[in-house]
């Protein structure tokens, strides 16, 4: 490999008119719309989305979360695989929030995924580069 070259996966995102970065994540082989959320500790999904994606959660461990919308409850789980563009990870910690889309309308792509990438933002563009 030549100096300055890398084989790291890179994904370029464009903000929507509201300034948010929405991605098509592939979780356990199925697509899920997700909002890039650096304020979320983990990837978060509603119950219906988690079930659709084949995620099994631990109903014996109910956790409390402080969110922008107030206190919410959820259950720990693991996504076997998660991919955004060419960036793929295995065994990603997630939380399955109580309720359906009325409680959480979109998957939150939180830091349990994002901590594995370098993020660079300029204007309405965000570049994610998978760490080696």
Residue range 63-84: mean pLDDT, rounded: 93
pLDDT over threshold 70, residue 3: no
The pLDDT of 45-65, averaged and rounded, is: 95
Distance CA 76, CA 61 (A): 7
Q: Distance between CA atoms of 5 and 34, rounded to whole angstroms?
A: 30
Interval 34-57 mean pLDDT: 96
């Amino acid at each position: 490999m030549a100096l300055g070259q890398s084989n790291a996966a890179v994904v370029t995102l464009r903000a929507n008119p509201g300034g948010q970065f929405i991605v098509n994540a592939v979780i356990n082989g199925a697509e899920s719309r997700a909002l890039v959320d650096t304020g979320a500790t983990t990837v978060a999904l509603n119950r219906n989305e988690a079930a659709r994606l084949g995620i099994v959660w631990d109903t014996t461990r109910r956790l409390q979360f402080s969110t922008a919308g107030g206190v919410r409850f959820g259950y720990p789980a693991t996504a076997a695989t998660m991919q955004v563009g060419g960036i793929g990870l295995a065994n990603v910690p997630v939380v399955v929030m109580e309720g359906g889309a009325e409680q959480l309308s979109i998957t939150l792509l939180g830091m349990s995924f994002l901590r594995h990438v370098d993020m660079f933002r300029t204007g309405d563009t965000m570049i994610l580069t998978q760490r080696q």
